[in-house]
Amino acid sequence: MIQFALKCKDDHRFESWFKSSEAFDKLHAAGMVNCIICGSTQVEKALMAPKVQGRRSKVAAQPPEVTQQALAELKKQVEQNSEYVGMNFSQEARDIHDGTAPARSIYGEAKPDEARKLIEDGVPVTPLPFVTGRKSN
């Protein structure tokens, strides 16, 4: 896993983890890397210094309210600009990748082994850092 400092066209800065540099490049080329603040897909790597943690030093974390605000905004952007496909996510993502379903932004739920298989097969997917809004009775 590798962590990149990223920034969008509006200069919102954030960090995200990727399986590898190649995984970032593939997701970025597919338009699957979005700003966590505004949802823009015009994202690029930002200059970042390596983080070296000494024995007694602690890496400063984002204040909880900033993190929560960013997650809420990301969730809003995903829900407004994507179709929720529920537990059919794996099949829908594969069909879109294979060209047997119309290209569109989707989100939903997948079992860990299904998600792993999609990634291994080169289907550009990424986990969301929030729980999707399931409809209940």
Residue 136: what pLDDT?
Answer: 45
The answer to whether residue 92 is domain-embedded is yes
Residue 1: what pLDDT?
Answer: 74
The answer to whether residue 72 is domain-embedded is no
> What domain range is 16 assigned to?
1-48
Does residue 86 sit in the same domain as residue 40?
no
**Six token digits for residue 13:** 């800065």
Residue 85 sits at φ, ψ, to 5 deg, of: -115, 5
The tens place of each residue's pLDDT in the chain, 137 residues long, gives 788 889 999 988 888 888 888 888 898 888 888 888 888 889 998 876 666 666 655 555 556 666 788 888 888 888 899 999 999 999 999 999 999 999 999 999 999 899 889 989 999 888 888 777 655 44
The answer to whether residue 73 is domain-embedded is no
The answer to whether residue 99 is domain-embedded is yes
Residue 32: what pLDDT?
Answer: 86
DSSP string, the chain: -EEEEEEETT--EEEEEES-HHHHHHHHHTT----TTT--S-EEE---PPP---SS--PPPPPHHHHHHHHHHHHHHHHHHSEEEETTHHHHHHHHHHTSS----EEE---HHHHHHHHHTT------SS-------
pTM value is 0.53
CATH code of residue 6:
2.20.28
